[in-house]
Amino acid sequence: MGTPGAPFPQLLFFNSLADADQKNMLVAISCNRKAKEFITPRLARQLLDELEGKTSGQLGIFIADEVMKFNEMAMNMPEPKARALALGYGDHFEALFAQALSGCSEPMKQRTHIFRWNEIETAELLDKTRSIEAMYDTQPRVRQMMDGAAARLLAWRCPDVTPTPRRLRAILDFIFREVPIVGAWGTPLQVRNIPWHGLIYPAINPRGMNVITGLIAELDEWMGKPLRHVLVMHITQEGSVY
């Protein structure tokens, strides 16, 4: 059982954050129904308190809203409806974390930024996304690996649906956009003129990120292995972790 107020368990992928002091870290907040149910105001504040000690650099609370439409489209939801739903979740989480941040210390407020998908999907990220798509189209082994990852994500997120090509393509469109952010190949992604060196992901269920990080480790053969920082923090229930 969990202990109220206990630190979030940490699942490290790739490099430890032990040497990440002064690194600017994105903090990805998934926008979906389950996250909305789990991440209450109290837990959002607890998460910010945990993050304060992870780095002395900048913290970017990244509300991953519009990109999550692809998960809804994998369930055959029309794109306009899926996008509207994802943006609605984005509105909720932007307000939630703004309120939680208002109660933090002044130094924490000054180095914490809250932004949404429309800010992180820069021309730079679009170029990286297109390069991943090009690898998928031209490298048979990369296609096989990414198709396998998409099938695993779909089976986990949508266990009751048939893995049709249309549904798998929706998951692939999500992967094409997430992989460059987590993979951190090339120059650091810049948002608001800040270079972001790594990613912290507070996960309700770490299985999805486990699939993505496994795929990224395989893609290093083509992309090169950078010095990346990725930390997954496991959220289990409000105010209680194990």
Write out residues in the chain with pLDDT < 70, as ranges: 1-21, 237-242
Q: 3 in a domain, yes or no? A: no
Q: 114 in a domain, yes or no? A: yes
Q: 242 in a domain, yes or no? A: no
| Residue range 57-76, pLDDT digits in tens | 999 999 999 999 999 999 88
d(CA 100, CA 104): 7
Which range marks the domain in which residue 199 is found? 10-234
What is the CATH classification number for the domain harbouring 144? 3.40.50.11710
Q: Would the pTM of this model clear 0.85, i.e. be above it?
A: yes
Let me know how many helices (H) and strands (E) the chain has, helices first.
Answer: 10, 8
d(CA 178, CA 129): 8
Q: 22 in a domain, yes or no? A: yes
Q: 2 in a domain, yes or no? A: no
What does the pLDDT read at residue 142? 96
Cα 35 from chain centroid (whole Å): 12
DSSP per-residue letters across 1-52: ---TTPPPPEEEEEB-GGG-TT--EEEEEE-SHHHHHH--HHHHHHHHHHHH
| Residue range 8-39, pLDDT digits in tens | 444 444 344 445 567 899 999 999 988 998 89
- Total structural domains within the chain: 1
Q: 4 in a domain, yes or no? A: no
Q: 5 in a domain, yes or no? A: no
What does the pLDDT read at residue 209? 85
Residue 56 in tokens? 């002395």
DSSP per-residue letters across 156-171: HH-TTS---HHHHHHH
Q: Which amino acid is at 24?
A: N
Q: 136 in a domain, yes or no? A: yes
